[in-house]
C-alpha cells in the first residue's frame, strides 16, 4: 500500500482542506503516514498569510528534496505536492525554485488531486493547477469511506463559506482563496449529518468571512449564517456549534439574536479588529471605525452576557505612529479579550499596503508587538481566573497526558483537564473549575449528562 504524508499550515480552513485531501487520497488507496521520509506522496498544504509562513515552506521543501533523492535511488516513487495558499500565490514559481516539486495545487482545485497525480505520472512533467474552476470543488469532493483524524474527533471543522471580497489592503486572502462563495444549505447539512453519524458532537463552521454566509436553500431562498446555525442545531447528535472568522460589517441582528436564543451556539465570538486607530483602519480598508467595533461588542454582550471575545491585531501597519498604536492598546483595554492573536505587519506581494513607502521599522514592530501581547496575555489570565470556582459545561474530547485524565473544552474554548473516571470522549458534563494552568484549566466533574 502506498503511503501519503499530508501536513497543513495556517488557519483552520487549511486543516479542513488537509483532511479532505486525505479522504481523496484514501479513496485511491493511499494509507497515511506521520513520517515524511516514509511517504510515497508528500503534500504540504501551505499558508501565505505572512512572510514567515511562506518561507518555512521553502526550507521544508529543501529537506524533502534530499529525502526524495535518497528514496529514488532505491526505486521508490516520491511525489511532492505543494497545495494551499502559497501554491495559489506562487504557482509555477515554486517549480522554478525547487525542481523536485511534482504538483502545485491551489485551494480551489484539490478535489482533483487523484487525477492530477495520474497526470503527473503520465506526463513526467510537473503539474500546476491554480485555476478557480467553474464547477466548485465542494461538488467534486466524494463523500469519504474512511475516517480521518478530523472525523474521528468529537469536534470537527466544516467549511461553509470561502473567499473574500473585502480587500483589506494588507491581506492576500482575496487573491489566494478567490471571491466570496457560500455553499448551498443542503450541501452543508448533508456534510454535518455525515459528521454527526461518525460521532462528531461539535461543529465549527468555517469561512474567511463566515458571517457573510448567504447560502441557497432547496426552496430557492437565501439563508443567513443565523439561519444555517438554527437548522444545523436540529441535527441529532450535534450539541455545540461555533463559527469563525467574522467581519464586523456582517455582524447582523439575527446572528446577535442567535447568541441570545440558541443554547447550542457557544458563547464565543472571534471578531478581528486589526487596529484601534481610525486612521489606520481607513488605510487598511476595513470599512469600520474603532467606535463601531466597541459598540458592536457592547450589543453582543448585552445579547449574551459573559460571551468570550477574541480578536486579531496587526502592529506596524505602514504609517502606524506611536499614537495610532496607543489607540489599539486603548481599544483592547475597553473591549476586554478572552484571547488575542497579534502579528507584526508583513508586506505581502501584490497587496496595496506592501507598496507603501512608509513601512514601519522592524525594531518598532517588535517593541509594539511585545507591549500588545503583554496586555492581551494579562486579559486572558483575568478571563481564565474569573472561571475558577464556577461550573462550566465541558465537552470531553480526548485522553490527557496523565493516565485516567481527559481533556475537553469549555464553552469559551478553554482546554479543561479533569480526572476521567467513568467518563469518555463525547460526554458533555458540568465541571467545577479548580485552577488555571499555563495553557489550560483543571477541574473535576460535578455532573455527567
Give the CB-side neighbour count of residue 434, counting CA atoms within 13 A.
8
* Residue 87 makes contact with ligand SF4 by CB under 6 A: no
Question: CA separation (Å) from 278 to 25, 161, 287, 326, 337?
Answer: 47, 28, 10, 12, 20
Pick one of 4, 5, 30, 50: the residue that binds ligand 5AD (CB under 6 A). 50
Work out the number of other CB atoms within 10 angstroms of the CB of residue 231: 15
Smaller CB separation from ligand 5AD, 171 or 255: 171
3-state secondary structure of 438: coil
Smaller CB separation from ligand SF4, 47 or 265: 47
Contacts of 165 (CB under 8 A, 6+ apart): 174, 179, 180
* Residue 272 makes contact with ligand 5AD by CB under 6 A: yes
Pick one of 79, 126, 150, 172: the residue that binds ligand SF4 (CB under 6 A). 172
- Which single residue brings its beta carbon nearest to ligand 5AD? 312
Query: Closest distance between ligand SF4 and the C-beta of residue 155, in Å?
Result: 19
Pick one of 177, 242, 270, 286: the residue that binds ligand SF4 (CB under 6 A). 177
* Residue 56 makes contact with ligand 5AD by CB under 6 A: no
Query: Closest distance between ligand 5AD and the C-beta of residue 199, in Å?
Result: 30
- Hey, which residues between 280 and 319 contact ligand 5AD (CB under 6 A)? 312, 314
Smaller CB separation from ligand SF4, 111 or 201: 111
Contact 103, 87 (CB under 8 A): no
Q: What is the DSSP string of 137-190?
A: HHHHSPPPSS--HHHHSSEEEEE-EE--SS--TT--HHHHT-S-EE--HHHHHH
* Residue 16 makes contact with ligand 5AD by CB under 6 A: no
Pick one of 4, 44, 49, 98: the residue that binds ligand 5AD (CB under 6 A). 49
Smaller CB separation from ligand 5AD, 166 or 193: 166
Smaller CB separation from ligand SF4, 177 or 247: 177
- Hey, which residues between 348 and 387 contact ligand 5AD (CB under 6 A)? 348
Could you say which of ligand SF4, ligand 5AD, none residue 274 binds, taking C-beta under 5 to 8 angstroms by partner kind?
ligand 5AD
Smaller CB separation from ligand SF4, 53 or 217: 53
Pick one of 6, 39, 42, 49: the residue that binds ligand SF4 (CB under 6 A). 49
Work out the number of other CB atoms within 10 angstroms of the CB of residue 295: 13
* Residue 239 makes contact with ligand SF4 by CB under 6 A: no
Cell of 278: 481610525
Pick one of 6, 43, 48, 343: the residue that binds ligand SF4 (CB under 6 A). 48
Question: How far is Cα 214 from Cα 259, in angstroms, rounded to an integer?
Answer: 18
Question: How far is Cα 269 from Cα 285, in angstroms, rounded to an integer?
Answer: 22
Contact 331, 286 (CB under 8 A): no
Question: How far is Cα 157 from Cα 125, in angstroms, rounded to an integer?
Answer: 35
Could you say which of ligand SF4, ligand 5AD, none residue 85 binds, taking C-beta under 5 to 8 angstroms by partner kind?
ligand SF4
Q: What is the DSSP string of 203-257?
A: EEEE-TTGGG-EEEPTTS-EEEHHHHHHHHTTSTT--EEEEE---GGG--HHHHH
Smaller CB separation from ligand SF4, 180 or 393: 180
Question: CA separation (Å) from 262 to 191, 227, 439?
Answer: 21, 11, 29
Site of interaction with ligand 5AD (CB under 6 A): 49-50, 170-171, 272, 274, 312, 314, 343, 345-346, 348
Q: Can you give the binding site for ligand SF4, defined by CB under 6 A?
A: 10-11, 13-14, 47-49, 84-85, 172-173, 176-177
Amino acid at each position: 500500500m502506498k503511503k501519503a504524508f499530508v501536513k497543513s499550515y495556517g488557519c483552520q480552513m487549511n486543516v479542513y482542506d488537509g483532511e479532505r485531501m486525505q479522504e481523496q487520497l484514501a479513496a485511491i488507496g493511499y494509507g497515511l503516514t506521520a513520517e515524511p521520509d516514509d511517504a510515497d506522496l508528500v503534500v504540504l498544504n501551505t499558508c501565505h498569510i505572512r512572510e514567515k509562513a511562506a518561507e518555512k515552506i521553502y526550507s521544508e521543501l529543501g529537506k524533502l528534496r534530499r529525502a526524495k533523492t535518497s528514496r529514488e535511488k532505491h526505486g521508490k516513487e516520491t511525489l511532492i505536492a505543494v497545495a494551499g495558499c502559497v501554491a495559489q500565490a506562487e504557482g509555477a514559481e515554486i517549480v522554478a525554485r525547487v525542481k523536485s516539486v511534482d504538483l502545485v495545487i491551489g485551494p480551489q482545485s484539490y478535489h482533483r488531486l487523484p487525477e492530477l497525480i495520474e497526470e503527473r505520472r503520465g506526463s513526467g512533467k510537473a503539474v500546476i493547477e491554480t485555476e478557480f474552476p467553474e464547477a466548485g470543488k465542494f461538488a467534486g469532493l466524494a463523500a469519504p469511506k474512511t475516517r480521518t483524524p478530523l472525523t474521528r474527533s468529537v469536534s470537527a471543522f466544516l467549511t461553509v463559506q470561502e473567499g473574500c471580497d473585502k480587500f483589506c489592503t494588507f491581506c492576500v486572502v482575496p487573491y489566494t482563496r478567490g471571491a466570496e462563495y457560500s455553499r448551498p444549505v443542503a450541501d452543508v447539512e448533508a456534510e454535518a449529518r455525515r459528521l454527526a453519524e461518525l460521532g462528531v458532537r461539535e461543529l465549527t463552521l468555517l469561512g474567511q468571512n463566515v458571517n457573510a454566509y448567504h447560502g441557497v436553500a432547496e426552496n430557492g431562498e437565501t439563508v443567513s449564517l443565523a439561519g444555517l446555525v438554527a437548522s444545523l442545531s436540529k441535527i441529532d447528535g450535534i450539541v455545540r456549534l461555533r463559527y469563525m472568522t467574522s467581519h464586523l460589517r456582517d455582524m447582523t441582528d439575527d446572528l446577535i439574536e442567535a447568541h441570545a436564543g440558541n443554547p447550542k451556539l457557544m458563547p464565543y465570538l472571534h471578531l478581528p479588529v486589526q487596529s484601534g486607530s481610525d486612521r489606520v483602519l481607513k488605510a487598511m480598508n476595513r470599512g469600520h471605525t474603532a467606535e463601531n467595533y466597541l459598540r458592536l461588542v457592547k450589543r453582543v454582550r448585552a445579547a449574551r452576557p459573559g460571551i468570550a471575545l477574541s480578536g486579531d491585531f496587526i502592529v506596524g501597519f505602514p504609517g502606524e505612529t506611536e499614537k495610532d498604536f496607543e489607540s489599539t492598546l486603548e481599544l483592547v483595554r475597553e473591549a476586554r479579550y478572552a484571547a488575542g492573536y497579534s502579528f507584526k505587519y508583513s508586506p505581502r506581494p501584490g497587496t496595496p499596503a506592501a507598496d507603501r513607502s512608509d513601512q514601519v521599522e522592524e525594531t518598532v514592530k517588535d517593541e509594539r508587538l511585545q507591549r500588545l501581547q503583554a496586555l492581551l496575555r494579562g486579559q486572558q489570565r483575568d478571563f481564565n481566573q474569573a472561571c475558577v470556582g464556577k461550573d462550566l459545561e465541558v465537552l470531553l474530547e480526548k485522553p490527557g497526558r496523565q493516565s485516567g485524565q481527559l481533556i475537553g473544552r469549555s464553552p469559551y474554548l478553554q482546554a479543561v483537564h479533569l480526572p476521567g473516571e467513568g467518563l469518555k470522549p463525547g460526554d458533555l458534563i458540568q465541571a467545577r473549575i479548580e485552577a488555571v494552568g499555563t495553557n489550560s484549566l483543571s477541574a473535576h466533574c460535578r455532573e455527567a449528562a
